[in-house]
Structure 1
Amino acid sequence: MTVTRLQSIPGIGVDKMGDAADSSNNPNILRLENLDTDIRPPADAVRQTHEAIDDDNANSYLPFTGQVALRQAVTARMQRSTGIEYDANSECIISAGGLNGILNVLLSILEPGDEVVLTDPTYAGLINRVRLAGGIPKFARLVPGADGWRLDLDSLSAAVGPRTRALLIMSPSMPSGFVANMSEWNAIAEQSRRANAWLVYDAAMERIVFDGLPVIHPASLPGMRERTITVGAVSKEFRMIGWRVGWIVGPLSIMADVRLTSLSNVVCQVGIGMPGATAALTSTDDGVAQAVAQWQDRRDVILNALHDLPVIRPHGGWSVLIDTEQLGLPSTEASQLLLAKGEIAATPMPGWGPDAGRYLRFVFANEPATRLADIRSRVRAAWGI
């Protein structure tokens, strides 16, 4: 019998699509189902990782909260992002990837039955971690428009109630590519203060923003340092998915509990991964700006090719959504047809929020623009439109 905490967790769907594409052994398939990228990590990070393999200090459990140099690099980045100083010893913990950090934070702040506000749509893995930690997800709607996604502020207010313990917000958000503007961040901060709730900020894609939009860190807003917990990672911006290195930065009042949870869950991080992560964070040539330019170009190829279909413009991140229900196709059926007839692997969104099931996700981070050039003809072959 399935234990109770797993009964409302449907999975994420990406694994099934990835397995289906892999099993086909067809190199012509466009791999738009998974958040990988073909753009290389920073050269300094790769070089330092090679050196770490021969470094006995990297083959160690210690320190349990992460290597000192990496924690110092993370807090220095936080100061650049927020203008706020954080103590590398007491207010920063290294995690085994960003999502490990998210789960450890949720386990540290939630009592069973506490509510957590997320956006709809949002990554199913975030929703599932709320449930694993005993929380109840509540949702604020993201509304699609001609120029992309906006947060429905009335929906946000309605989602916050007496049992709200945290708001879990990602910007840029995955899978939508929603990037919160200043008025939206101010509204999120106000709701956090009103409910006396934590703001858990998933900063995994913080600098992957397009169209010249500014990067806004919510901890920099008035009164938010003491209630914002930031979780970041080298996976996306620095293209270092396999390193499994993330970080948690927050006020002293909660970090002792997060440390205890971290010691009780994944005891320590990937030893040989941390020196490379440190190198990425301190490199003078991290390649982020160049990578973001390439990802924006790929986004634009898809938006231009599918301009006659109901696609929603993302302002950041690695993916774009298409509303297949407007085309008379359930997203799961649309995904199956694309793989069978269009040689495109793309993930449908059931389980990614109450209204998210109508969308199909195209990830543009792992396919060059030349491979995306015929995406419209592939879609036409699959859906007949």
Structure 2
Amino acid sequence: MKPLAARTDALRQSDIRAVTFEVNRVGGINLGQGICDLATPTPIVEATVAALRDGSQIYTAYNGTQALREAIADKAMSFNGIPVEGPESVVVSTGSTGAFLATVLTLFEPGDEVILFEPFYGYHAGILRLHGIRPVAVPLTKGGGRWTFDPDRLADAIADRTKAVLVCTPANPSGKVWSEDELAALYAEVERHDLWVLTDEIYEHMVYDGRRHLSPASRDGAYERTITLSGFSKTFNMTGWRLGYAVAPAEVAEKIGLVNDLTTICAPAPLQHGLAAALPLPEAYYTQMLADYTAKRTRMVDALRACGFDADPPEGAYYVLAGLGDRLGTPGFENARTATTTLIETAGVACVPGPSFFADPADGDGHLRFCYAKEASVLDEACDRLVDAFG
């Protein structure tokens, strides 16, 4: 037989998927994969059921239904402060990953380089590599309980083949929320070198302690070079629905939409119709969601600290990237992967090993990522198991 494409040679099942299978094997609790198994809001479910019954089963336009794109454009202007032209600046996709894929195929050629800030979301790096694009990691600095951005490190990483910078805010896995000063320093470098900016803002409604989510594209002069990626999976607990979107200047969005047409035709039609009919949800929904996640964040951090891990409350999203602390190198905790196995086998609780989020896996060996997007009773049970086993 002829060989498979060379781009598949290095492909392996991600740690995120692997730990899910392992914890399911022992009937444990999965705090690894960000599956967010909370209930989808009732208005969205009911509107989608009505859309299914009304026969909304045919293809939509390749860039999404008019109603959903209008709702996203309105939200991009009112919540994010992005100066979109209108629904023509929006592409609805099969999850935010679909939006990222279409954007990658629209902007980059094989051999281009894209800068990611480390620790980074592994799927971003994986998709870039799959298409012959080199991810370049710029480490963030951890100090005083938060991850900070050093503009000099960014400047040093920019090379002739650099075409874009990818910003995740709030960030998976670190929980970092980018500040106005940090974004100003980043765009100074971006403009100096005429680079694109891709942003992943899917956790935009999960920002704690009075902080405010800042969309990079809302900055003066930033919209023209910024593609904003987001979706509904995390905010509305619908990860399996696969609905995301890209927001970009209209002429760029048109190309992203045409690529989207060639890769997936369109996002699931009934789900688009149902979601559009239910939006916008009342402000009380977001207020309660943030209050619930704030309490769960505290529960998760307290349990990890009781186990001897180094755990700081994240600024945003719903993950704790904890350090192994003095446990690193001890029996069962020789490195992050053995620690992950120990937690599954001893406590029946899964997390994701830190090497998944670093260019050099050794740099992540002292970290584990825990997801607290669970029902309160399930999270309580997981935390109790951890403390009973390791506290």
- Residue 37 of structure 1: how far off its partner (Å): 2.2
Question: What is the identity, as a one-letter code, of the residue corresponding to 2:127?
Answer: R
User: Which stretch of the first structure deviates more once superposed, 132-141 or 209-218?
Assistant: 132-141
Aligned twin of 2:327: 327
User: Which stretch of the first structure deviates more once superposed, 219-228 or 279-288?
Assistant: 279-288
CA deviation profile, 1:105-152 (whole Å, cap 9, x unmatched): 011100111111111111111111111232100112122223222223
Q: In 1, Cα distance between the equivalents of 2:273 and 2:159? A: 43
- The alpha-carbon distance between structure 1 residues 318 and 379, as it changes in their structure 2 partners (threshold 3 A), is same
Is 2:328 the counterpart of 1:359?
Answer: no
1:86 to 79, 84, 87: 84
Aligned twin of 1:337: 342
- Residue 325 of structure 1: how far off its partner (Å): 6.4
1:151 to 145, 149, 152: 149
Aligned twin of 2:36: 37
Q: In 2, Cα distance between the equivalents of 1:352 and 1:84? A: 29
- TM-score, normalization: structure 2? 0.90
Give the alignment's Cα RMSD to 1 decimal: 2.1
Instruction: State the secondary structure of the residue aligned to 2:164.
Output: strand
Question: What is the identity, as a one-letter code, of the residue corresponding to 1:345?
Answer: A
Is 2:326 the counterpart of 1:318?
Answer: no
CA deviation profile, 1:150-189 (whole Å, cap 9, x unmatched): 2233322222222111111111111111111111111222
Asked if 2 retains the 8 angstrom alpha-carbon contact of 1:45 and 1:275, the reply is: no
Q: In 1, Cα distance between the equivalents of 2:387 and 2:141? A: 25
2:218 to 220, 227, 233: 220
Q: Which runs of 5+ in 2 are unaligned?
A: none
Is 2:118 the counterpart of 1:120?
Answer: yes
Aligned twin of 2:19: 17
Asked if 1 retains the 8 angstrom alpha-carbon contact of 2:83 and 2:223, the reply is: no
Q: In 2, Cα distance between the equivalents of 1:139 and 1:234? A: 27
- Residue 285 of structure 1: how far off its partner (Å): 5.1
- Residue 306 of structure 1: how far off its partner (Å): 2.8
Instruction: State the secondary structure of the residue aligned to 1:211.
Output: coil
Aligned twin of 1:350: 355
2:244 to 246, 271, 286: 246
- The alpha-carbon distance between structure 1 residues 143 and 277, as it changes in their structure 2 partners (threshold 3 A), is farther
Q: In 1, Cα distance between the equivalents of 2:9 and 2:163? A: 22
Instruction: State the secondary structure of the residue aligned to 2:62.
Output: coil
Asked if 1 retains the 8 angstrom alpha-carbon contact of 2:349 and 2:382, the reply is: no
Instruction: State the secondary structure of the residue aligned to 1:322.
Output: strand
- The alpha-carbon distance between structure 1 residues 342 and 91, as it changes in their structure 2 partners (threshold 3 A), is same
Q: In 1, Cα distance between the equivalents of 2:255 and 2:284? A: 33
- TM-score, normalization: structure 1? 0.92
Q: In 2, Cα distance between the equivalents of 1:286 and 1:98? A: 25
Asked if 2 retains the 8 angstrom alpha-carbon contact of 1:295 and 1:365, the reply is: yes
Q: In 1, Cα distance between the equivalents of 2:315 and 2:356? A: 23
Aligned twin of 2:128: 130
Q: In 1, Cα distance between the equivalents of 2:54 and 2:259? A: 28
Q: In 1, Cα distance between the equivalents of 2:312 and 2:36? A: 21
Asked if 2 retains the 8 angstrom alpha-carbon contact of 1:10 and 1:351, the reply is: no
Question: What is the identity, as a one-letter code, of the residue corresponding to 2:5?
Answer: V
- The alpha-carbon distance between structure 1 residues 60 and 363, as it changes in their structure 2 partners (threshold 3 A), is same
- The alpha-carbon distance between structure 1 residues 284 and 367, as it changes in their structure 2 partners (threshold 3 A), is closer
- Residue 349 of structure 1: how far off its partner (Å): 2.6
- Residue 353 of structure 1: how far off its partner (Å): 1.8
Q: How does 1:44-193 map to 2 (within 5 A)?
A: 44-56=43-55, 58-193=56-191
Question: What is the identity, as a one-letter code, of the residue corresponding to 2:313?
Answer: R
Instruction: State the secondary structure of the residue aligned to 1:90.
Output: helix
Q: Report the number of matched residues.
A: 379
- The alpha-carbon distance between structure 1 residues 130 and 367, as it changes in their structure 2 partners (threshold 3 A), is same
Question: What is the identity, as a one-letter code, of the residue corresponding to 1:113?
Answer: G
Q: In 2, Cα distance between the equivalents of 1:36 and 1:201? A: 21
- Residue 192 of structure 1: how far off its partner (Å): 1.8
Q: In 2, Cα distance between the equivalents of 1:7 and 1:350? A: 20
Question: What is the identity, as a one-letter code, of the residue corresponding to 1:297?
Answer: A
User: Which stretch of the first structure deviates more once superposed, 270-279 or 1-10?
Assistant: 1-10
Is 2:308 the counterpart of 1:303?
Answer: no
Instruction: State the secondary structure of the residue aligned to 2:322.
Output: strand
Q: Which runs of 5+ in 1 are unaligned?
A: none
Question: What is the identity, as a one-letter code, of the residue corresponding to 1:230?
Answer: T
- Residue 89 of structure 1: how far off its partner (Å): 4.3
Q: In 2, Cα distance between the equivalents of 1:263 and 1:357? A: 40
Q: In 1, Cα distance between the equivalents of 2:148 and 2:284? A: 30
- Residue 229 of structure 1: how far off its partner (Å): 0.5
Identity of aligned residues (%): 28
Q: In 2, Cα distance between the equivalents of 1:54 and 1:193? A: 50
- Residue 284 of structure 1: how far off its partner (Å): 2.3
